[in-house]
Amino acid sequence: MWTTRPVRLPRSQSPNTWFFGVCEGIAVRYQVSPVLVRLVVGLSVTLGGLGLWFYLVALLVMPRYGVPLSPVEVLLKNERDPRYTPDREVGTRTLIVGIILLVLGGTG
């Protein structure tokens, strides 16, 4: 199952991608409309707040299209390959945002 996880589709791969390509990647993997996935994520962010956490976790564990490692794997394995530089930056920034959100009160 882990090898068949969705991949993030960067703007260079899909011009319809917003932010980091998480919703687009999920939609392509499960063959549903990206608009439906964005709607579900948007509603879960605004109504319950947990959608933001799910989005951040998905951003960390979903690899970018064409790259075998996800941002969290790049950070844990301390990969120094230049092709992982964007993933290292995304992983570091996402973890910082997650820590800030935890300090400021979580989803509340």
pLDDT in tens, 48-68: 778 888 888 888 888 888 888
62 falls within a domain: yes
90 falls within a domain: yes
For 61-89, what is the mean pLDDT? 87
18 falls within a domain: yes
What range defines the domain where residue 76 resides? 2-103
Type of residue at 54: F
pLDDT in tens, 24-45: 888 888 888 888 988 998 898 8
Quick check: pTM over 0.85?
A: no
98 falls within a domain: yes
Do 55 and 41 touch, CB atoms closer than 8 A?
A: yes
Dist CA 102 CA 56 (whole Å): 12
Predicted confidence at residue 79, as pLDDT, reads: 82
H-helix or E-strand spanning residue 48: none
Residue-wise DSSP of 61-80: HSPBTT-SS-HHHHHHHT--
Q: Is the pLDDT of residue 1 over 60?
A: no
* pLDDT band of 46, cuts 50, 70, 90: confident
91 falls within a domain: yes
Q: Is the pLDDT of residue 16 over 70?
A: no
108 falls within a domain: no
Q: What's the domain count of the chain?
A: 1
Dist CA 44 CA 49 (whole Å): 6
